[in-house]
Homo-oligomer: A and B are copies of this chain.
Amino acid sequence: MSRKNNPLSIDNQLCFPLYAAAKEVVKRYTPYLKPLGLTYTQYIVMMVLWEEKEVTSAHLGERLHLDSGTLTPMLKKMEQNGLICRRRSDVDERNLVVAITQQGEELRQKAVKVPAKMAQCVNLSAEEAVVLYQLLYKILD
């Protein structure tokens, strides 16, 4: 069976380049994030907090497509590192409120240069990036 007509050829699967490219791009973030003491997942948590300052764990999970099994230990670690603080909501004690600390706010100054550096890392034109962005969100919605 030729590769071209083989549905099980890895070269014919959209999923594989998606999986590999995502890992590749996250990996390229590492040299920029490590000096900030952040992993990629912690970085996207911080991006939400730099905008919203205070969110529930459930909101974070929905926004970042992560569940409590991933978030709970990571948020505890980020609290130990002084970036966030965790407390129960007064209104509904089921909810965990995650708030950014002063130290977390200050990290933003160092992080602000990361996106531009990353844009150079990815070998796409601005137009291609827009097309890719829209196609990816079409999958997510």
Contact = CB atoms under 8 A, between A and B. Distances in A.
A21 B64 CA distance: 11
B133 A138 contact: no
Contact of A10 (B13, B48, B128, B140): B48
Nearest to A64: B20
The copy count of this chain in the complex is 2
Counting contact residues on chain A (CB < 8 A from B), the size range is 35 or more
Given A14-B129, A18-B25, A8 B108 contact: yes
Contact of A131 (B7, B29, B135): B135
A141 B18 CA distance: 13
In the A-B complex, list the 5 residue pairs whose CB atoms are closest, starting with the nearest.
Answer: A22-B22, A17-B136, A10-B47, A7-B115, A21-B139
